Each structure stands twice: as structure tokens, then as C-alpha cells.
């Protein structure tokens, strides 16, 4: 028994304790934060947008990448969000979107492969553009974002190059670059005041301009040969399986005041989806970077699909570089960090582009990971051992938020009204419900 003591509390209960024999230890809060990363960080210095509660302190947790960037707490506003299916990644992204719109942010979803964002856009009075074979909706990927002809030419050229590379599955050679550049210039001149379209470029690729060919030290015959593969690649949009979606003037214009723009690509199969994403990315970009747009989220849900295509990764990276200039915060949603390793071959340029995207995300939110993914996540995100241990035990709706110099475990709280809009389980339940009329599970 020794020095054990006991006493009776005011309520009459008997309590006992052993005196603590450790010498008292004093340290600064920053030292303690290093030793016990979850104990000390103060909440992020913002009061909007509400996310939920800090799982360890119970404090209110809010996140606004623009305010945090302005406060010097983030080095960039981009966010990576990873976690196994069904953990609440989309729910978090959607409710952050809805809550951010409430104080004037805009939201763009450049590709919604599962068609689950349309309901969110409808709920906030946003715009949904749905592309499907046979529908009357068409967008012109060559709609230029810039009114400056030189910038507009660059934007269109990047789009055409990405499109051809995505279709051909290889990078373009220098003669092909010259061919597409000349074809685009000739098409723009031929169109005059009208917006140039994909069929206009196909026409000038098929019949190159003599003067521009000789100015470039080549002949019409050689230039036609240089553009042959390109022509086949972009013809797919005119006569192939994607005909009618991208081969004429846009039938929809983006209302600059719309709080949310969603491009629903859920009706497209996997392979055309990638081409459609390439075309759509340019069109959405022109909406995003239009003057006066203000701070906006650009959310790539199910981003692993985009990451399979190097030209798309390249476009994405170029757009991320511009993010700060245009006040954009990109959010990349993946299942696991190893999705980034699926880009290109080891050591390839594509792989380093994907790694660059990760490096450009100052905030990393990790939802539950499969145990075989933990090592990748720890290495990619530089997590501490305490953080590592949390990764496989996180319940649904709870994530590890890692920001420069601080980490949190956060319970994302959903309002019942939000849940009604975001419940993807409900769609699953109805899809798998007993066809004989039994109640959904
Ligand atoms: N924080 C939360 N609280 C309650 N339910 C949630 C929460 N997050 C997600 N859910 C529910 O979990 C289901 C799956 O979420 P979802 O966001 O679609 O997962 P993921 O995108 O990770 O596959 C949805 O039906 C959603 O309503
Ligand atoms: Mg999801």
C-alpha cells in the first residue's frame, strides 16, 4: 500500500490515487506539439466555412483556403482529399462547396463522371451541363477564354494538342505541332468574326495553306502528311462516337453569376469520357478564368480517372500554376495516394507532373486508408507515426487534416438538409433494392 491514499468525496464516494512520482516537466507549446502532434495545435485561424469538430478537443473546425492563405497558414489554397470508397470524401467536398457558396465563393466541377453533383448544383441554384450522345447540348472546346488573340491562340493550341495526344496515345512530334499551329491560324482567319470550331480546324488540316507552309520552309504535300494522324484524331469528334458533342458552336453559355457549374459526363463510357474531359476542361477553364469570377473552388471528384491521361495531367498542372492568379482553389479527390503512382511509367515526366500536383496541395485530407496503402500515404504525405496509426481506424466522415506545421482529426458534421442532397448511399440502396418491392436495405 505504501504511499497510496484514499479519501471520501463530498458525495460520499471513496476515491484513491497514487501520487505521481515523475518530476514535473515544462516545455513550450511548439515543443509539445512536436512530441504530441494532436494535442496542441490551435484551430485554423478562420471562422468560415464550418466543417465540423476537432475530434480531440471538440473545438469547432472551419476551413477556407483563401482566408487561411491570406493569414499565412497555407502556402497555397489547393487541397488533396484521399480515402477509400464510401468514407465521405464527396460528402465533405459537396458540403464545403455548399457552405462556401453561402459567402460568395463559386464552385466548378469540370467533370462529374458519376453524375452525383447535379443534385448539389440544383440545390444551390447552379448550372448543370450534361453531355450525352444524341442530346442537343454541345460545347465548343475552342471557345477562347481570352479576348487577346495571342493568348487565345495559345489556349486553343494547348487544347488541340491535348486532344490529339489523348486520342493518339502518344506525344506529338515537332512537324505535327507546326501542322496543328498552322491549321488553327488558317481556320481562325477563315472564320472571320465567327468562333472557330473543331470542323474548321479539320478542314484546314486536310487542306493546308500554301503560303504558311512555304513560310515554314515546307510544302503543302508534306504538311498534309504531317497532319494526317492529327486529322484522324480530331475527326472522332466530328464523325466518330463523340459526334455532336464538341463539333460546333456551344449551345450553352455560362452565366458568370452562377454559383456552381457542373459538367455531368456520367452518360459517357470510360474511353470517350477521357476525350470529353480533355475538351470540356478547356471550355470550363474559359468560364473559370473569365474576369470577375472571384475566388472559386475547382473540384475534381474521382480524379484518378483524369490522372490516367498524361495530357490531362499536363493541362491540370498548367491550370494549377494559374490558380493563385485567378483566385482558384483546386481540390483533387482520390481513393489512395498510389493513384498518383499510376500516372505514366516510373521516372516519366507524367509521373513527376502528378507528384508536382501533390506537392502543390498545401492541405492534405486523408480519410480511412486500406492497411496496404498506409506506407504509401505516410511516405507521400510525410506523416508522423501518431498520424499513421490513425489512418486505418478513421470512422466514416472523419479525416486527418494535415496542413503546414499542424494536423487535426476532424469529424465532418452534416446538416440533415445537406444529407438529403448528399446521400449517395440512398442511390445505391435504391439501385440494389429488391425488385419485387421488398424494402431497401
Ligand atoms: N460526415 C458524415 N456524416 C454522416 N454521413 C456521412 C458523412 N459523410 C458521408 N456520409 C454518408 O456516407 C455515404 C458515402 O459518402 P460519399 O461522400 O459518397 O463517400 P465517398 O465519396 O468517399 O465514396 C453517403 O451516403 C453520405 O451520406
Ligand atoms: Mg465520392
Ligand nearest to the CA of 425: 1
The confidence band for 273, taking pLDDT boundaries of 50, 70 and 90, is confident
pLDDT confidence bin for 193, thresholds 50/70/90: confident
- Distance in angstroms (rounded) separating the CA atoms of residues 67 and 245: 39
Give the number of the atom of ligand 1 that is nearest the alpha carbon of residue 397: 1
CA 273 to ligand 2 center in whole angstroms = 17
Cell of 202: 479539320
Buried b (16+ CB within 10 A) or exposed e, 194-221: eebbbebbbebbeebbeebbeebebeee
In whole angstroms, give the CA distance from residue 419 to residue 397: 12
Of residues 14 and 211, more confidently modeled: 211
What is the enclosing helix (H) or strand (E) of 97?
Answer: helix 89-101
Q: Say how far apart CA 65 and CA 81 lie, in whole Å.
A: 14
Q: Which residues are bridge partners to 17 per DSSP?
A: 5
3-state secondary structure of 328: strand
Give kind and range of the element (H or E) at residue 234: helix 228-235
The CA dihedral of 283, 289, 290, 293, to the nearest 10 degrees, is: 120
Per residue in 377-429, pLDDT tens?
888 888 888 888 888 889 999 999 999 988 899 999 999 888 888 876 655 45
Which of the four pLDDT bands, split at 50, 70 and 90, describes residue 4? low
Residue 203, classed as helix, strand or coil, is helix
The predicted pLDDT at position 1 comes to: 45
Contact assessment for residue 290 and residue 108, using Cβ atoms and an 8 Å cutoff: no
The mean of the pLDDT values for the chain is: 84
Given a cut of 50, is residue 285 above it in pLDDT? yes
Q: State the pLDDT at residue 144.
A: 73
Q: Which of 3-7, 8-12, 105-109, 425-429 has the highest mean pLDDT?
A: 105-109
DSSP letter at 434 equals -
Q: Which residues line ligand 1 (CB under 6 A)?
A: 83, 85-91, 396-397, 412, 414, 419, 422-425
Q: Is the pLDDT of residue 28 over 90?
A: no
Q: pLDDT band at 437, cuts 50/70/90? A: very low
Q: Whose CA is nearest to atom 15 of ligand 1?
A: 88
Inter-axis angle of helices 349-359 and 310-326, to 10 degrees?
Answer: 30
- Which residue has better confidence, 375 or 97? 97
Q: Is residue 299 a contact partner of residue 98, using CB atoms and an 8 Å limit?
A: no
Q: C-alpha 37: how far from its chain's center?
A: 28
Q: How far is the CA of 53 from the centre of ligand 1 (A)?
A: 16
What's the 336 CA to ligand 1 centre distance in angstroms? 17
Q: Atom of ligand 1 at shortest distance to CA of 412?
A: 1
- Three-state secondary-structure class, residue 421: helix
In angstroms, the first-to-last Cα distance of the chain is: 57
Percentage of the chain surpassing pLDDT 90?
40
Ligand nearest to the CA of 365: 1
Preceding omega of 246 cis (within 30 degrees of 0)? no
Q: Tell which atom from ligand 1 comes closest to the C-alpha of 84.
A: 22
Distance CA 46, CA 87 (A): 25
Atom index in ligand 1 nearest the CA of residue 83 equals 22
Q: Which residue has the higher pLDDT, 364 or 39?
A: 364
Q: Which residue in this structure is represented by grid cell 463523340? A: 242
Q: What is the pLDDT of residue 15?
A: 65
Residue 17 φ/ψ, nearest 5 degrees: -155, 160
CA distances from 438 to 178, 271, 428 (A): 63, 36, 15
Residue 432: pLDDT band (50, 70, 90) is very low
Task: Say how far apart CA 160 and CA 198 lie, in whole Å.
Answer: 9
Sign of CA dihedral 35, 37, 364, 71: negative
Which atom of ligand 1 is the closest one to the Cα of 93?
A: 17
**Model confidence over 63-84: pLDDT tens digits?**
999 999 999 999 999 999 999 9
Which amino acid residue places its CA nearest to atom 5 of ligand 1?
A: 397
- Report how far ligand 2's centroid is from the alpha carbon of 418 (Å): 15
- pLDDT-based confidence at residue 96 (cuts at 50, 70, 90): very high
Judged by DSSP in three states, 429 sits in helix
pLDDT score recorded for residue 363: 95
Set of cell numbers at residue 100: 462556401
Shortest-distance Cα residue to atom 27 of ligand 1: 423
DSSP β-bridge partners for residue 334: 82
Three cell numbers, residue 267? 452518360
161: helix, strand or coil: helix
User: What is the SS3 assignment for 378?
Assistant: helix
Distance CA 334, CA 366 (A): 10
pLDDT-derived band at 146 (thresholds 50, 70, 90) equals confident
Q: What is the pTM of this model?
A: 0.82
CB 70 within 8 A of CB 53: no
Indicate which ligand has the atom closest to the C-alpha of 94: 1
Are the CB atoms for 367 and 86 separated by under 8 Å? Answer: no
Helix (H, G, I), strand (E, B) or coil at 332: strand
The answer to whether 232 and 179 are in contact (CB under 8 A) is no
Amino acid at each position: 500500500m505504501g504511499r497510496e491514499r484514499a479519501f471520501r468525496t463530498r458525495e460520499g464516494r471513496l476515491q484513491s490515487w497514487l501520487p505521481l512520482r515523475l518530476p514535473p516537466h515544462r516545455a513550450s507549446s511548439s515543443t509539445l506539439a512536436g512530441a504530441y502532434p494532436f494535442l496542441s495545435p490551435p484551430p485554423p485561424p478562420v471562422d468560415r466555412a464550418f466543417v465540423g469538430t476537432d475530434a480531440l478537443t471538440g473545438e469547432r473546425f472551419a476551413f477556407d483556403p483563401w482566408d487561411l492563405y491570406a493569414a499565412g497558414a497555407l502556402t497555397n489554397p489547393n487541397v488533396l482529399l484521399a480515402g477509400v470508397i464510401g468514407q465521405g470524401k464527396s460528402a465533405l467536398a459537396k458540403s464545403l462547396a455548399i457552405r462556401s457558396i453561402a459567402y460568395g465563393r463559386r464552385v466548378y466541377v469540370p467533370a462529374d463522371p458519376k453524375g452525383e453533383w447535379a443534385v448539389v448544383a440544383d440545390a444551390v441554384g447552379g448550372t448543370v451541363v450534361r453531355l450525352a450522345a444524341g442530346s442537343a447540348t454541345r460545347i465548343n472546346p475552342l471557345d477562347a477564354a481570352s479576348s487577346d488573340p495571342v493568348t487565345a491562340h495559345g489556349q486553343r493550341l494547348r487544347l488541340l494538342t491535348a486532344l490529339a495526344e489523348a486520342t493518339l496515345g502518344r506525344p506529338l512530334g515537332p512537324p505535327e505541332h507546326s501542322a496543328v499551329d498552322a491549321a488553327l491560324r488558317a481556320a481562325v482567319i477563315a472564320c472571320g468574326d465567327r468562333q472557330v470550331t473543331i470542323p474548321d480546324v479539320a478542314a484546314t488540316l486536310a487542306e493546308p495553306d500554301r503560303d504558311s507552309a512555304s513560310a515554314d520552309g515546307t510544302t503543302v504535300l508534306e504538311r498534309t502528311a504531317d497532319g494526317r494522324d492529327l486529322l484522324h484524331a480530331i475527326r472522332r469528334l466530328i464523325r466518330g462516337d463523340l459526334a455532336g458533342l464538341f463539333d460546333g458552336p456551344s449551345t450553352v453559355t455560362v452565366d458568370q453569376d452562377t454559383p456552381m457549374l457542373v459538367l455531368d459526363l456520367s452518360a459517357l463510357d470510360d474511353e470517350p469520357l477521357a476525350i470529353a474531359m480533355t475538351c470540356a476542361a478547356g471550355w470550363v477553364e474559359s468560364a473559370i478564368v473569365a474576369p470577375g469570377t472571384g475566388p472559386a473552388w475547382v473540384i475534381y471528384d474521382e480524379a484518378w480517372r483524369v490522372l490516367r491521361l498524361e495530357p490531362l495531367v499536363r493541362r491540370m498542372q498548367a491550370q494549377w500554376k494559374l490558380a493563385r492568379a485567378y483566385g482558384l482553389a483546386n481540390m483533387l479527390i482520390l481513393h489512395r495516394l498510389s493513384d498518383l503512382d499510376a500516372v505514366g511509367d516510373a521516372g516519366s515526366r507524367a509521373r513527376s507532373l502528378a507528384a508536382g500536383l501533390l506537392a502543390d496541395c498545401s492541405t492534405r485530407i486523408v480519410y480511412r486508408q486500406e492497411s496496404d496503402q498506409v506506407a504509401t500515404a505516410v511516405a507521400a504525405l510525410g506523416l508522423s507515426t501518431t498520424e499513421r496509426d490513425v489512418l486505418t481506424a478513421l470512422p466514416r466522415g472523419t479525416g486527418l487534416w494535415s496542413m503546414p506545421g499542424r494536423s487535426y482529426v476532424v469529424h465532418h458534421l452534416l446538416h440533415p438538409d445537406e444529407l438529403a442532397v448528399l446521400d449517395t448511399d440512398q442511390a445505391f440502396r435504391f439501385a440494389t433494392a429488391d425488385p419485387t418491392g421488398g424494402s431497401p436495405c
